[in-house]
Amino acid sequence: MHIEVVNFTGYEDNCTINYFDHKGEYLRTHVLENLQVELHINIHHHYAVSIKSCTCIYFDEMQKSGIVKSLKRHELEKMQYALRDCVDWDEWEQSNNRDIDDFMHND
């Protein structure tokens, strides 16, 4: 299965995740709304995205309107892994590295 993430850089409150089979045929879409994530470095010293909360709307080619879906643990883990690859981690590190100049004010 191939996962394609649309409109996520780590700061959005919604995004779309499209799923395709191994032949590239469309399977389904999950739209994540009210998305709250935490970007961090995990205990293995790897970059990670943790989904803290979201509303997942499920679509497939048969549905004209989405259905709210509760995510299973393995689905959530696959999404977090896919989201991780969309983040500009160099920019994230720079925004989280603070030095003394960040706290000094020149009036």
Interval 48-103: pLDDT, tens = 999 999 999 999 877 678 899 999 999 999 999 999 999 999 999 898 875 545 54
The answer to the question of residue 100 being in a domain is: no
> Distance of CA 86 to CAs 4, 5, 17, 62, 89, Å?
10, 8, 12, 28, 9
Cα–Cα dist 97/107, whole Å: 23
Percent of the chain at pLDDT exceeding 70: 90
Residue 101: per-residue pLDDT: 52
Domain interval for residue 65: 2-88
What pTM did the predictor assign? 0.83
Cβ-based neighbour number of residue 8 at 10 Å: 22
Residue 29: per-residue pLDDT: 94
Residue 103: per-residue pLDDT: 45
User: Count of domains in the chain?
Assistant: 1
The answer to the question of residue 35 being in a domain is: yes
The answer to the question of residue 6 being in a domain is: yes
Cα–Cα dist 31/7, whole Å: 11
The answer to the question of residue 93 being in a domain is: no
Q: Mean pLDDT, to the nearest integer, of 11-20?
A: 95
The answer to the question of residue 10 being in a domain is: yes
